[in-house]
Amino acid sequence: MFTTDSRFHMRIFYLLMAVFATSWCAFSQHSLSGKVLTNTGVPLDGAHIHIENGHALSLPDGTYTLTGIATGSHRVVISYVGYKSLDTIVDFHKNEVLNANLNPDITQLNEVVLTEKLLNKDIAPIQKLSVQTLEKYSSGSLGDALKELPGVSALKTGTTIVKPVINGLHSSRVPVISNNVRLEDQQWGTEHAPNLDVNAAGKVSVIKGASALQYGGDAVGGLVVVEPLRVQQDTLFGKTVLTADSNGRGGTISSSLHKGAAQGWAWNAQGTFKYYGDRETPDYILSNTGNREANFSGDFGYIGESYKLTGFYSFYNATIGIATTTHIGNVTDLVRAINSGQPVVTNPFTHSINNPRQEVQHHLAKLNFEKDFEDGSALNVQYAFQQNLRKEYDLRRGSFADIPALDLTLVTHSVNADWKQETDANTFKAGVSGAAQHNDASPDTGVRPLIPTYHKYDAGAYAIASHSFGNSLTAEVGARYDFSHMDADKFYQKTRWTALGYDGVYDHFITQDFGTQWLTNPKFTFHNVSASAGVRKDFGESLSLLGNVGLAVRNPNPGELFSDGLHHSNATIELGNLGLKKEQALKASVTVQANANSFRAEVTPYINSIRDFMYLRPTGVEYTTRGAFPVYSYRQNDALLAGADLHTEWDVTSYLKHSLNAAYVHGTNTDTDEALIDMPPLTFSNTFRYTNAGWHGFFAEVRSEAVLHQTRYPNYDFYADVPINGELVPTLVNISRPPKGYHLVHLSAGRQFSIGKTQASVNVSVYNLFNTNYRDYLNRQRLYADEAGRNVQIQLKFNY
Amino acid sequence: MKRFKVSVLTLLTVGMLASCSDDDTAIAPVNEEEVITTVTASFSPVGGGSVVTLTSRDLDGDGPQAPVVTVSGNFAANTVYNGAITFTNEMVNPAEDITAEIFAEGDHHQIFYQQNGLGTFSYTDEDEDGNPIGLTVAYTTAAIPANGTLTLTLVHHPEKTAAGVAEGNIANAGGSTDAQVSFPVIVQ
């Protein structure tokens, strides 16, 4: 059974990789173009088209173009894993068209990718970012790139710290899976962006909801699955992307080399450097907002006849400046920042990064063994090691300036074994996983750590079965069990312990008396069961219906349990809660995929009912020598999120395409009947793209991004005494109201060219063309400063 | 196949055991070395007389307890007082006097004296650039009896050259607040 899913993701392209053209030769040159389809007419995304020493990949709509072909007869091979190759001779005297219909080859499943099906017969709506989109964000981050998908927005801190928000949920509710390893990078923190290099990703998928039980049962919001580029042919190819940006006055260089093999040794290596200075709004410089990255990833493996052994290592190393203006001392400073409407102090542009800043490093090393058995089953066994080092430097006095205010080392060992068996109508997946984690909160900071030292152990097992009832109906059910045990060493000020109401309730956690502080040893054990069920019904080629229900269970994270102290970036005291229970989300969604020749649409309405939703809510104001601070405490209520994501594509002509993304989510605290905080407002993104493959792959694109005003928000404004004209005046601190909506226009154009045998392309883009002043509700910088203004970007890509 | 599965299980077990090694070291509480718990401002009348001492003390730092504010007495009207302010961290033992450090980094600190109708404050010290710090101050009390609130604010990284900042106006100072304490003051 084949589906039309990929057609709905036409805007998501795969790059025309490595077109080794026989250019500049004396003969006249021709092009070969066409469409690669299955025998049932479904486009094949990523099929290889070889012509002697050149090759190309087909786009999601199956189209491909090869240029620079000399006059004469040439052998053309079109291949796709799992399909019989087309091998033919074409006589070139003019530009030729070759359309291919490939037949499935059941015996030739030479590589089983556990995380992905060969065809888009996914039961859950999975949205993917292509290499092309990822390259566009070479100088940005994963979170920036994911915003291109409907229903995915970005929770930002400044310009460079970007976290994906799926259908209104983020952080611990949206696990990120990097190369089949669950990323453990202090992801509980809203100011902690995923520690991975977007340039290392070959494919990024978003699964909205709990449908991917093999990765965990706690994806209350959804999952982001990042996979590196895989090469299956016996080829060696390289790629370099150079990006220069006017805003930030810096650049990015990312290079990779890939040695693929059908059998034998294969390896990949990839590195990225980024260097940026202060970002600029239309009116002023955002002081101290530069960033640096120096990343590496690579693997080395042996592919046998029925097995594959791979060692992988990646290193992410970033220094990120935090806008000076967002570092404030107390509520008085906050009120001043809100009222002044712009930073009080802006310094001249600089590339240097001072405090406050984040220095984060993430090591990921893994060993992976895949084995295919003759009965059609496959086993994947993996061990992964992760070390996450996070140092946050603050504006501190004297000798403390060079000592981080937060210094965490998180080490995670994880193992998993996944087994999969596919027969004609059935797919069965099962697996076990285990993880041991240790967080070390350095006491040398001179600041009581936000997150304590702790140990955590996890174990899980899952099984997922799917069955095809004929050609048009497929159903899937899955279940998962997770065990988790956490054991922390946490110091509490005795006054805080008492104020939190822990006296007499959690006395059994106290292990030692340190005068003004208690040393406690809180222990928590959780047993969770999560489940998913889905069904897909295809009505011919033009309509598909997908229905999914998932139950996700998430345990309170260390931040929610133990947070205890002052947050300088927003002048709040955040308090964890030892009494938190696990959060349970039941999400149901229906996806309608419609396809009418030149128009395609996918709409997914959903409802996510969350029991014991954990969130921060203001619970008072505290006074210290530093001044007044609002206190936010973790609370639990039932929540209901309902919304819809829409994506449409329309081929206006064969050259001009329009695409639309729209998303809305309505989040409510059903216990208090308040709106949920930080819900993305209604968003529309319209793109017109003109492409003319015949003219050196030329494209020009205009994109309009409209973010409406969020009118539903909880009112967390509070009063605090602020000195005004020498008197302390109770003043309303206006922190809740979301900023106005905004509309941005982005332009982009590019074409391909050849330098000898190297296929190259140049793209010129202008982001925020009209240099619009705006603030975004989901940016924690919004109370202090505008978003970055216009950015002119020039990007050069080389495939060799 | 069976042997294979056994070896997988073995690998898993070894992996888990290897990762369970305990690396606990002795656990010590963090000394909050940077916190300012106590702000003391002493005002001595130039012509002699009783010293007025204003103290704000918050022994649990960022903890839930509010600072305890004490004022030793009332100011005399129409009198010039020499004021000196000290900052102390009493969460460490022995208590640490932070005043000298603030003076040494005088170009990155300034203390502001905010009040209304209590008289005038003028800076009597300066940093290496000739800008006031505010660790010492001359306070000329109001000519007639008055009462109100005196708020002392220690600003880290103020914009010292901005308009009015050298005269003690906090409005354009920017920076971030390291300490902000308020005292009920009576001039009689």
Q: What is the mean pLDDT of residues A11-30?
A: 34
User: Is pLDDT at B12 greater than 60 in this prediction?
Assistant: no
Tens-place pLDDT, residues B57-72? 999 888 899 999 999 9
Task: Tell me how crowded residue A515 is: count the other CB atoms within 10 A of its CB.
Answer: 8
| pLDDT at site A234 | 73
Q: Which residues 507-546 of chain A have a CB within 8 Å of chain B?
A: 514, 516-517, 519
Mutation to test the B interface, candidates A447, A451, A520, A624, most B Cβ within 10 Å: A624
A317 within 8 A of A361, measured Cβ to Cβ: yes
Instruction: Enumerate domains of chain A plus CATH numbers.
Output: 5-108 (2.60.40.1120), 224-799 (2.40.170.20)
Q: Which chain B residues have a beta carbon less than 8 Å from that of A455? A: 22
Q: Which one has a higher pLDDT value, A339 or B140?
A: B140
Tens-place pLDDT, residues A64-104? 888 878 777 777 888 877 677 777 777 787 788 888 888 76
Identify which of B67, B102, B175 has the shortest CB distance to residue A625: B67
Contact B176 A328 (CB under 8 A): yes
| pLDDT at site A94 | 78
Query: Residue B89 contacts by C-beta under 8 Å, 6 or more apart in sequence?
Result: B32, B33, B34, B35, B36, B37, B38, B95, B96, B98
Instruction: Name the average pLDDT for chain A.
Output: 88
**Percent of all residues in chain A with a pLDDT value above 90, rounded to a whole number:** 64
Tens-place pLDDT, residues A563-605? 988 877 677 899 999 999 999 999 999 999 999 889 999 999 9
| Domain assignment present for B147 | yes
Tens-place pLDDT, residues A101-142? 887 654 333 332 322 333 346 788 788 888 888 999 999 999
| Lowest mean per-residue pLDDT among A188-202, A279-293, B20-34 | B20-34
Contact A415 B58 (CB under 8 A): no
Task: Tell me how crowded residue A186 is: count the other CB atoms within 10 A of its CB.
Answer: 23
Q: Which phi and psi angles does B13 have, rounded to 5°?
A: -60, -45
A430 touches chain B (CB under 8 A): no
What is the rounded distance in angstroms from the CA atom of residue A617 to the CA atom of residue A635?
A: 7
| pLDDT at site A526 | 97
Which 3 state secondary structure label does DSSP give A212?
coil
Total domain count, chain B? 1
In terms of residues, how long is chain A?
Answer: 800
Task: Tell me how crowded residue A747 is: count the other CB atoms within 10 A of its CB.
Answer: 14
A383 touches chain B (CB under 8 A): yes
| Domain assignment present for B181 | yes
What is the rounded distance in angstroms from the CA atom of residue A626 to the CA atom of residue B151?
A: 12
Which 3 state secondary structure label does DSSP give A222?
coil
Q: Kindly report the CA angle at A617 between A568 and A570, in degrees rounded to 5? A: 15
Q: CA nearest B27 in A: which residue?
A: A489
Q: Which chain A residues have a beta carbon less than 8 Å from that of B27? A: 453, 489, 519
| Terminal alpha carbon distance of chain B | 96
What is the rounded distance in angstroms from the CA atom of residue A639 to the CA atom of residue A641?
A: 7
Q: What is the mean pLDDT of residues B151-166?
A: 93
Could you tell me how far CA B94 lies from the centroid of its own chain? Answer: 18
| pLDDT at site A590 | 95
Q: What is the mean pLDDT of residues A618-644?
A: 92
Q: Which residues 604-623 of chain A have a CB within 8 Å of chain B?
A: 622-623
Tens-place pLDDT, residues A392-418? 998 888 778 899 999 999 999 999 999
Structural domain harbouring B58: 34-187
ipTM of the complex: 0.84
A48 within 8 A of A13, measured Cβ to Cβ: no
* Structure token digits, residue A264: 């034998």
| pLDDT at site A566 | 82
Contact B62 A624 (CB under 8 A): yes
Contact B35 A625 (CB under 8 A): yes
Tens-place pLDDT, residues A364-403? 999 999 999 988 899 999 999 999 999 999 888 877 889 9
| Strand ranges in A558-670 using DSSP code E only, listed in sequence order | 564-567, 572-575, 583-596, 599-624, 627-651, 656-669
What is the rounded distance in angstroms from the CA atom of residue A220 to the CA atom of residue A168?
A: 11
| pLDDT at site A236 | 84
Band (A630; pLDDT cuts 50, 70, 90)? confident
Tens-place pLDDT, residues A223-280? 999 998 877 667 788 899 999 999 999 999 999 999 888 888 999 999 999 999 999 9
Instruction: Name the average pLDDT for chain B.
Output: 87
Q: Which chain A residues have a beta carbon less than 8 Å from that of B63? A: 493, 495-496, 499, 624
Bridge partners of A386, per DSSP, are A364, A412
**Percent of all residues in chain B with a pLDDT value above 90, rounded to a whole number:** 72
In terms of residues, how long is chain B?
Answer: 188
A725 touches chain B (CB under 8 A): yes
Classify strands A791-799 and B38-45 as parallel, antiparallel or unpaired.
Answer: unpaired
Contact A723 B149 (CB under 8 A): yes
Q: Which of B108, B58, B7, B123 is nearest to A566 (CA)?
A: B58
| Domain assignment present for B10 | no
Band (A483; pLDDT cuts 50, 70, 90)? very high
What is the rounded distance in angstroms from the CA atom of residue A380 to the CA atom of residue B8?
A: 10
* Structure token digits, residue A346: 């802006």
User: Is pLDDT at A631 greater than 70 in this prediction?
Assistant: yes
Q: What is the nearest CA distance from B72 to chain A, expressed in angstroms?
A: 19
Task: Tell me how crowded residue B159 is: count the other CB atoms within 10 A of its CB.
Answer: 16
Bridge partners of A470, per DSSP, are none
| Domain assignment present for B24 | no
Tens-place pLDDT, residues A415-473? 999 999 988 889 999 999 999 999 999 988 888 888 899 999 999 999 999 999 988 89
| pLDDT at site A707 | 97
| pLDDT at site A116 | 30
Strands, sheet with A86-92, edge to edge from the N-terminal-most edge strand: A54-57, A48-51, A72-79, A86-92
Task: Classify residue B75 by its DSSP letter.
Answer: B
Task: Classify residue A739 by its DSSP letter.
Answer: P
Contact A627 B180 (CB under 8 A): yes
Whole-angstrom CA distances from A493 to A93, A573, A600, B4, B115 are 83, 14, 60, 53, 34
Q: Which chain A residues have a beta carbon less than 8 Å from that of B174? A: 343-345
Tens-place pLDDT, residues A540-558? 888 999 999 999 999 999 9
Q: What is the nearest CA distance from A500 to chain B, expressed in angstroms?
A: 9
* Structure token digits, residue A715: 């009112």
A320 within 8 A of A372, measured Cβ to Cβ: no
Identify which of A396, A489, A573 has the shortest CB distance to residue B34: A396
Tens-place pLDDT, residues A725-740? 888 899 999 999 999 9
Contact B29 A517 (CB under 8 A): yes
| pLDDT at site A800 | 84
